[in-house]
Amino acid sequence: MSADKRMTADEAVARLESGMTLGIGGWGSRRKPMALVRALLRSDVTDLTVVSYGGPDVGLLAAAGRIRRLVTAFVTLDSIPLEPHFRAARQRGGFELTELDEAMFMWGLTAAAHRLPFMPVRAGLGSDVMSVNPGLRTVVSPYEDGEEFVAVPALTLDAALVHLNRADAHGNAQYLGPDPYFDDLFCEAAREAYVSCERVVGTAEFAAAGGPQTLLVQRHCVNGVVEAPGGAHFTSCVPDYDRDEAFQAAYAEAAADPAAWAAFTGRFLSGDEDAYRAAVAGFSHQASDDTPEAAGRGGTQ
């Protein structure tokens, strides 16, 4: 019988150590393991090499000074093109940056998943990615074509954090949205992987929600399962919920001013996950009361 791998977010983060290379799944401001990131912020883990198609996960860790080196293809909030804390950290030289083409990033994870030292790719040839990464090497095909490729080094991870729609207690995890992103590669490229999910279900329930292609992550590469309803907030986790655009806008606005950011962190990031949810509920109620429609209702009472 497979092991029961359920644990809390804090228990998962307690297994991480300073100085690790940490992969974070999702894409931009979509299906990020934010409950696990918030637990990481509550810990004293620091000096991280973060590997991510970056979004607010990178922004929050950068704002807290937890990143030593970032490996990424971009850092965006999607509807806000550039993550504001990432921008500020880069402007002040807050960490070392390794910037890769999106395909190079994917093949670096693939190499690590297959326990290969590198993968040959065409992406990056003839672009500035080679000049900004002088450590990159090229290889020549040993066959008659003699083609030159970029040798993308494996992005081997000490640990990975991902968020999916459903998981069972054993570590099998299912996505139900339109795009799987690369969460499976993050888990397979890592020595340890921790999966948060909207709901833990029985294994037999996977079939009712989607076909076998939705079973993105397999239990053999998962060390812990965290049930975290709303665990991707404020990013999207389709079809369970869309991005919280109002909250994201407030996050970005607060990032522009140190006093506003201190107030934001005090309100939303100073407690545990239950406190975060309660604060978000209060914010959502306030935001709904501030809409023109709500104002109109108030005027007719």
Q: Is 47 helix (H, G, I), strand (E, B) or coil?
A: coil
Residue 298 has pLDDT above 50, yes or no: no
pLDDT category at 293 given cuts 50, 70, 90 is low
Distance between CA 103 and CA 214 in Å, rounded? 22
Which amino acid makes up residue 270?
S
More confident of the two residues 296 and 221: 221
Query: Would you say residue 294 has pLDDT above 50?
Result: no
- Minimum mean pLDDT range among 95-99, 180-184, 227-231, 289-293: 289-293
**DSSP class per residue in 59-89:** HHHHHTT-EEEEEES-B--SSSSS-HHHHHH
The reported pLDDT for the residue numbered 112 is 98
Cβ 174 vs Cβ 215: under 8 Å: yes
User: Is residue 167 pLDDT above 50, yes or no?
Assistant: yes
**For strand 173-174 and strand 67-72, is the pairing parallel, antiparallel, or unpaired?**
unpaired
pLDDT digits (tens, 9 = 90+) for 52-89: 999 999 999 999 999 999 999 999 999 999 999 999 99
- Residues in contact with 262: Cβ distance below 8 Å, sequence separation at least 6, in sequence order: none
pLDDT at 210: 82
Inter-residue contact 237 to 34 (CB < 8 Å): no
One-letter amino acid identity for 300? T
What b/e readout covers 275-284, taking b as 16+ CB neighbours within 10 angstroms? ebbebbeebe
Distance CA 117, CA 156 (A): 9
pLDDT in tens, 231-280: 999 999 999 999 999 999 999 999 999 999 999 999 999 999 999 999 99
Predicted confidence band of residue 291 (pLDDT cuts 50, 70, 90): low
pLDDT for the residue 1: 62
If you average pLDDT over residues 137-157, what whole number do you get? 97
The single residue listed with the structure tokens 């992406």 is 123
Q: Say how many residues make up the chain.
A: 301
Half-sphere exposure of 262 (CA within 13 A, CB side): 3
Checking if the pLDDT of 292 tops 50, the result is yes
pLDDT for position 211: 78
pTM of the model: 0.94
**Using an 8 Å Cβ cutoff, are 181 and 27 in contact?**
yes
More confident residue, 181 or 291: 181
Q: How many Å apart are CA 296 and CA 301, to the nearest integer? A: 9
Please check the confidence at residue 22 and state whether its pLDDT lies above 70. yes
Average pLDDT over residues 194-201: 98
Pairing of strands 148-153, 173-174: unpaired
* Mean pLDDT over the full length of the chain: 94
Top pLDDT among 277 and 298 is at: 277
Report whether pLDDT(296) > 50. no
pLDDT at residue number 286:
87
